[in-house]
Amino acid sequence: MDIQAELISIGNELLSGQTLNTHGRDLGEALSALGLQLSRDTTIPDSIPIIGKAVEEAFDRVNLVFVSGGLGPTIDDITRDALAKLFGQKVIVDQPTVEHLKGWYEQRDRTMTIAATRQAQVLDNAHVLFNSVGAAPGQRIETADGKTLFVLPGPPNEFNAILKEEIIPWLRIRYAEIKPRYVRFVKTKGIGESDIVTILENADFQPLEVELGFYPGQGRVKIRISAEAENKAKVEEVEQTLSKLLADHLDLFE
């Protein structure tokens, strides 16, 4: 079973370069460990029509959609409104989240304002995902055709906390039959990608049922070897072959 996911990051601050977006890296790594695949990472502005269209189009392609950002108390935090319009749902105040927010503000010697309670708003058909390190909760929304939307806050520590504590355990149960791909790496130094390709071509190296990925950086190239779990032996065979072909350039101490 090939279960793919898409990430939609929302925020003008991301597109203007004011904020570094690390969600794609963190989500992709977490999903890969479960045998799921992040197939697209899209960043869009704070716009209700654009948000709605992006989510709708993503669901035309995949079963799992992740949306991050736009859940705060400010005027440009419009993700909830965009999703409510898309799904024809009401936005309601989640009372357990209000109680959590009261304690959250008290611990920081701050007064919770009326504006702050906006962070407790969720879609009325959402399963609320507890935010252990921040204010606005995440949400899980099931569609009529069996697909799932996850809505997460934008700050990386909050995004990752909800992902790790709420979403990954749910996905692990939901897709228990899926096994992660088997992955190995061959690491080289002092040789460029084009030279590696030449060596492999001269050796007529064409592995079957195994995917190769090349990741260069700082004078090194990391070669990722992956395949379905049942092809573990083929991955290890390819790893051995690459290690022999590139023996003079292996980085054994990274």
The pLDDT tens digits for 39-82 are: 999 999 999 999 999 999 999 999 999 999 999 999 889 999 99
pTM for the whole structure:
0.88
> What is the structure's pLDDT at 2?
82
> What is the structure's pLDDT at 67?
98
The yes-or-no verdict on residue 254 having pLDDT over 70 is no
> What is the structure's pLDDT at 219?
87
Boundaries of CATH 3.30.70.2860 in the chain? Answer: 182-249
User: pLDDT above 70 covers what percent of the chain?
Assistant: 99
- Return the CA Rg of the chain: 22
CATH number for 182-249 (one of 3.40.80.10, 3.30.70.2860, 3.40.120.10, 3.40.50.300): it is 3.30.70.2860
Contact of 51 with 44, CB cutoff 8 Å: yes
Boundaries of CATH 3.40.980.10 in the chain? Answer: 4-174
**Which CATH code for domain 4-174?**
3.40.980.10
Look over the chain and give the mean of its residue pLDDT values, rounded to a whole number.
94
